[in-house]
């Protein structure tokens, strides 16, 4: 049985929270934070983007309206924290769940903005906000240069996927197919950027 769109988007959102919380713990692990510090980083990574989106749109903040998101984020943070104490995890492992979380959050954020009545450009920016702000908060808390500002495609991949989603919906493509297609495009673009170092041109002043 194929789930209806509301159910599908709900579980996509929950999955994104879990993935971003896990990625937050893996990234913060290099800083040797204690359990409380790890939980704060994970919550910022998992909930930060959607919180900013909802505040900008004047919507009820999603994890306040439904504390299941908060519980999933905390649960994923705790499980990842203790798994890392048992198993040796590669230093760059967080990049894969981060890419998946970016894709899922962008799709849910864009769709939420469209449902709220935002015009297409604003909706695409809200999708990017949902996808990247949590990662920015995570990196700032870890005293790292935010991943989104480094060389490989990150926010660009998110925005591309948001525009793909909006374009497909405008063409009356089934919303579930549009969501899966846009999310897949974001994930594959981000993974390709990591694999082959694809990025935007960096600022370089002439004569510097």
- Give the model confidence (pLDDT) of 45-64 as tens digits: 999 999 999 999 999 999 99
Amino acid 85: pLDDT: 85
Q: Judge whether 85 lies within some domain.
A: yes
Q: What number of residues does the chain have?
A: 208
Q: Judge whether 135 lies within some domain.
A: yes
How distant, in Å, are the alpha carbons of 94, 99, 146, 190, 191 from that of 196?
A: 17, 15, 20, 10, 9
Q: How confident is the model at residue 6 (pLDDT cuts 50, 70, 90)?
A: confident
* Least confident range of 31-40, 90-99, 139-148, 192-201: 90-99
Q: Judge whether 123 lies within some domain.
A: yes
Q: Judge whether 42 lies within some domain.
A: yes
Amino acid 164: pLDDT: 98
Within 13 Å, how many C-alpha atoms sit on residue 176's CB side?
A: 9
Q: How far does Cα 152 stand from its chain's mean position?
A: 16
Q: How far does Cα 31 stand from its chain's mean position?
A: 21
Q: Judge whether 201 lies within some domain.
A: no
Query: Tokens standing for 185?
Result: 């495009």
Q: What angle do CA 131, 137, 141 make, to 5 degrees?
A: 150
CB-CB contact of 183 with 104 (8 Å): yes
Distance, CA of 47 to CA of 172 (rounded, Å): 31
pLDDT above 70 as % of the chain: 96
Amino acid 131: pLDDT: 96
pLDDT in tens, 99-120: 999 999 999 999 999 999 999 9
Distance, CA of 200 to CA of 29 (rounded, Å): 28
Q: Judge whether 24 lies within some domain.
A: yes
Question: What is the tally of structural domains in the chain?
Answer: 1
Which residue segment(s) compose the domain that 25 sits in? 5-196
Q: Judge whether 184 lies within some domain.
A: yes
Distance, CA of 80 to CA of 87 (rounded, Å): 10
Q: Judge whether 203 lies within some domain.
A: no
């Amino acid at each position: 049985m194929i789930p209806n769109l509301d159910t599908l988007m709900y579980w996509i959102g929950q999955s994104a929270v879990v993935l971003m919380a896990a990625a937050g713990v893996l990234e913060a692990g290099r800083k040797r934070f204690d359990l409380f510090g790890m939980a704060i980083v994970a919550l910022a990574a998992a909930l930060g983007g959607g919180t900013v989106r909802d505040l900008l749109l004047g919507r009820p903040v999603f994890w306040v309206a439904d504390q299941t998101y908060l519980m999933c984020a905390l649960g994923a943070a705790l499980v990842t924290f203790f798994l890392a104490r048992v198993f040796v995890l590669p230093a760059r492992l967080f990049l894969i769940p981060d890419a998946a979380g970016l894709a899922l959050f962008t799709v849910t954020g864009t769709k939420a903005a469209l449902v709220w009545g935002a015009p297409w450009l604003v909706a695409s920016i809200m999708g990017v906000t949902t996808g990247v702000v949590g990662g920015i908060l995570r990196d700032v808390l870890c005293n790292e240069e935010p991943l989104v500002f480094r060389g490989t495609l990150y926010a660009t991949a998110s925005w591309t996927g948001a525009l793909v989603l909006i374009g497909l919906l405008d063409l009356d493509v089934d919303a579930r197919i549009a969501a899966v297609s846009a999310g897949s495009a974001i994930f594959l673009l981000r993974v390709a950027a990591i694999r082959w170092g694809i990025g935007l041109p960096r600022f370089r002043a002439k004569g510097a």
